[in-house]
Each structure stands twice: as structure tokens, then as C-alpha cells.
Amino acid sequence: MKRLARKKTEEAPKGAPEWMTTFSDLMNLLLCFFVLLFAMSNVDQEKFDQVAASLSSSFSIFSGGKSSIGDGQLINMGVAQLNDFNQYFSNMGQTTESIDGEEIEQLKQLLAEANKAETEKMYDNITEMSAQYNLD
């Protein structure tokens, strides 16, 4: 009875295949290229709003032009800042020519009042905390 010599099995190389390293380098360079393009681009806010409004009306999942924003309160720390978000969302894509000058002034006044109220609230909180922790 003859014993045959066993063939040594070749072990698979450890790590990733060589092509995968080259491919990942290519993808990394493409990512850097597009990030660079994006960083150097200028976004026209009016055109962006028009595109957003167009896409919103084209791909809306709500019937009758309704939106999910506006009912109830948002549960977030920024609730005070987002109270008029529904109005902004429904007017998205409109140019300033389609809004009355009077309406713009009213919106500016509302924004100034909201900022003042928020600032006063923040001042009161800071004053209260500094008194609580004996800070000067």
C-alpha cells in the first residue's frame, strides 16, 4: 500500500483583494472632486426655492395640496423658532414680487418681535442660572 503525498493547499491572501484598494482610491478621489465642486458653487436662493416648490407640487403625496406641517406643535427645543414654518412652507417658491410690500413689513415686524421675545427669555434664563450658581 503506497501512500500518496498530500498536496499542500494554498492559503488565500489575507486582506482585501488588490483591485478593491484601487477602486476605493478612485471612489475617494471622486468624492473629493465633487465636494470641491460643491464648495466652489454658488447657490441661487430664488432658483432653489422655485425648484423645491416645483418638486414639492410634482411629487406631493398629500391630496388637495395639503401638507403634514402645521397641525399641532413640534416637540423640539426650537419650537419658538418654528411657529411660522407652515406659512414659510406654503409660500415656498414665491418671489418677493408676488408678496405685498405691506406683508413683507408685517413679516419683518413679527420676526423682530419674536427675536426680541426669545432674547428676553434667554436673558432671564441666564440671569436665573447665574444667581442659582453664584456666578458674576
48 pLDDT band, cuts 50/70/90, is confident
- 97-103 LR contacts (CB < 8 Å, sep 24+): none
**Looking at this protein, which amino acid is placed at residue 29?**
L
> What is the rounded CA–CA span in Å between residue 94 and residue 79?
25
The C-alpha cell of 22 is what?
484601487
Give the residue-averaged pLDDT of 86-109.
69
pLDDT of the residue at 78: 53
Is 134 or 65 the better-scoring residue by pLDDT?
134
Q: Do 56 and 95 touch, CB atoms closer than 8 A?
A: no
Q: Do 68 and 62 touch, CB atoms closer than 8 A?
A: yes
**Which pTM was predicted?**
0.29
Question: What percent of the chain has pLDDT above 70?
Answer: 68
The C-alpha cell of 85 is what?
414654518
